[in-house]
Chains A and B, each alone.
Chain A
Amino acid sequence: MNRSLVIWLAVLVLQAIVAIHVYTRQVSIVSLVFWLLSIILARFVL
């Protein structure tokens, strides 16, 4: 599979995890780490 696509999917999965955390109010440093990771990964795709 295309490397960029894999990274992009990873970005989306991480963002989804963060969104679920925020939605369910289980906001913690874990969701922050996922959020930062998704931004860093996006740098490789875009």
Chain B
Amino acid sequence: MIHRKDRFALIILILFQLGILWYFVRIPTHYHQDEFITAFTSWTLPPITKLDWFAAYPPVWVSQFPVLFHILQKPFFWIFGPTVTAVRISVWPYAIGILVYLYFLTKILYSRKLAIIVGIIYSAFAPHVYLSSMGLHFISSTFFYIAALTHFVAGQNVAAGIFSGAAYLTYTSSYITYPVIALIGIFTNRRGLVTTTLVALLILSPFLVYAATVNNFFTQRVSQVNALWGTWSDPAKQQIAPLAIIQKQTIDAFRSLVIPGVGGLGGYNFGKLGLLDTITAVLLAIGFIMLLGGAVKKSGNRIVLIALLVPFTTGFILTTHPPPFHRLSIIYPFLALIVGLTITRFRFVVVLSGIVIVANLLHTNYMIKADANIYPQNSRLIAEYITQNIPPGQPIQIAAYPSFYLGQELLFRTNNHYPITTGETGNILDGYRGGTLLLLNPTKENLDKLRAMYPNSSTLRSIDGVSLGDITLFRPVKK
């Protein structure tokens, strides 16, 4: 039973969190194409009676993940329709869950007062707000990680096992959950660890059978992104010595926390700024030293250190370069916790918390504003053009290759008001009988053919002065 004081504090924290997320969700230039690829997988998931429950999806992407996230995302599209807002709101239950677990974990390890401060700081914590205001599945990894840890620390071993198992049914960053729990359990709760292990195995067993017999998605992502022998790792391909890779990546990992231009990978640019603003970074550094200093006496400090440092090493230092801020997301709550620990050591807790919140919200804003000039905005502009100039129901064709992301993104950006077909360029052009056509890197020959067929056509390579990049928009009639 949740105490009345906790319930009240949590309601306020959740409202504060959702208010902040709602503000940043509505900034149109803030997006990532992975949001829509993920959402499209959920949208097109087979009916529950035909679904391969223990398989990995989507079959056409570079990486596959179990269906859990998609199953839980799909109902949001039934309720809100396939919209950009629905994509973003679909991750809010995880954001709320993380906040609740962070609150209780902090309360168990330290105090209610610190739990409230940490909850407030985390709600505004710039890296978290930046990432969680998009509909990405990294947030589910953070949720399962902190949920498993909190239940384990609270002695609820079965629940810890369920969440430990679930941590392997989402993004790879939470694969570290069980090793972290095992490390904590060996020193604090060996009997509980046995129960947690058995339940986690029970959860995972059918997925392990699938992985062993059909497609081993558990090791797929790791073998792509790990720094030492991963197929996506440039230093590994250049056969640079492992020690040299680790040394460079460790230095860069720490530098990227404050120095602009070091971190951010795969379009998760965070404005190409440091992950943290200066004030938060200083408080974090002080808190980390305090945490280390008290680690011998306080078991809470040891647990936080393990929960922080193990994923920092495996997910941030030992994966592909430059430092991937998005893979660090499972420890964002712990970074906020350490900042909170520092703040409570000072006199003016309320004033200092206020300064940290403002600094983080400003930093989020700077990152998102900077992203507008870094991240390609072509798909957003194309969607705006379509909704403003083309009547709903008119077909849109995309000549690229079947799994090209643009159609998946346009489905959500146009609220599924247009029938969109994506296919191989040759096939689409062969069957083209008019209508709006989007071409990926079209050849001059293909464009000339289209113009010869439709002399009154219009071809757009930019909208409102912004380049469409590798996309060309063709309409058989003048605008």
Q: Please pick, from B48, B51, B203, B214, the residue contacting A39 in the complex, using a CB distance under 8 A.
A: B203
* Residues in A neighbouring B205, C-beta threshold 8 A: 15, 18-19
Chain B, 233-254, CB within 8 A of any chain A CB: none
Considering residues A11, A18, A25, A27, which has the most beta carbons from chain B within 10 angstroms of its beta carbon? A27
Chain A, 9-46, CB within 8 A of any chain B CB: 11, 15, 18-19, 21-23, 25, 27-29, 31-32, 35, 38-39, 42-43, 46
**Given A43-B158, A46-B158, A46-B195, also A27-B202 (CB < 8 A):** no
C-alpha spacing A29/B49, complex, angstroms: 5
Establish whether residues B203 and A27, one from each chain, have CB atoms under 8 Å apart when the complex forms.
Answer: no
Contact with A along B167-204 (1 / 0, CB 8 A): 00000000000000000000000000001001100110
C-alpha spacing A12/B333, complex, angstroms: 37
Distance between B446 CB and nearest chain A CB, rounded to angstroms = 41
Which residue on chain B has the smallest CB distance to residue A15? B205
Is B210 part of the contact surface with A, judged by Cβ < 8 Å?
yes
**Given A23-B209, A43-B158, also A15-B53 (CB < 8 A):** no
Establish whether residues B199 and A35, one from each chain, have CB atoms under 8 Å apart when the complex forms.
Answer: no
* Residues in A neighbouring B157, C-beta threshold 8 A: 46
Establish whether residues B52 and A19, one from each chain, have CB atoms under 8 Å apart when the complex forms.
Answer: no
Is B54 part of the contact surface with A, judged by Cβ < 8 Å?
yes
C-alpha spacing A42/B204, complex, angstroms: 14
- Interface size of B in residues (CB-CB distance below 8 Å): 22
Q: Please pick, from A32, A35, A46, the residue contacting B198 in the complex, using a CB distance under 8 A.
A: A46
**Given A27-B53, A27-B54, A46-B195, also A22-B48 (CB < 8 A):** no
**Given A15-B202, A22-B210, A46-B198, also A32-B53 (CB < 8 A):** yes
C-alpha spacing A11/B201, complex, angstroms: 12
- Interface size of A in residues (CB-CB distance below 8 Å): 19
Distance between A40 CB and nearest chain B CB, rounded to angstroms = 11
Is B388 part of the contact surface with A, judged by Cβ < 8 Å?
no
* Residues in B neighbouring A28, C-beta threshold 8 A: 49, 53
Which residue on chain A has the smallest CB distance to residue B213? A23
* Residues in A neighbouring B162, C-beta threshold 8 A: 39
Establish whether residues B206 and A31, one from each chain, have CB atoms under 8 Å apart when the complex forms.
Answer: yes
Is B55 part of the contact surface with A, judged by Cβ < 8 Å?
yes
C-alpha spacing A25/B206, complex, angstroms: 11
Chain B, 144-158, CB within 8 A of any chain A CB: 157-158
Contact with A along B25-51 (1 / 0, CB 8 A): 000000000000000000000001101
Distance between A24 CB and nearest chain B CB, rounded to angstroms = 9
Contact with A along B216-247 (1 / 0, CB 8 A): 00000000000000000000000000000000
C-alpha spacing A19/B198, complex, angstroms: 16
Distance between A11 CB and nearest chain B CB, rounded to angstroms = 7
Interface residues of A (CB under 8 A from B): 11, 15, 18-19, 21-23, 25, 27-29, 31-32, 35, 38-39, 42-43, 46
Q: List 17 A-B contacts (CB under 8 A).
A: A15-B205, A15-B206, A18-B205, A18-B206, A19-B206, A22-B54, A22-B206, A23-B209, A35-B54, A38-B202, A39-B162, A39-B199, A42-B198, A46-B158, A46-B161, A46-B198, A46-B199
10 extra A-B contacts, CB within 8 A, seeds A32-B53, A39-B162, A42-B199: A11-B202, A15-B202, A19-B209, A27-B55, A29-B49, A31-B53, A31-B54, A39-B202, A42-B158, A46-B195
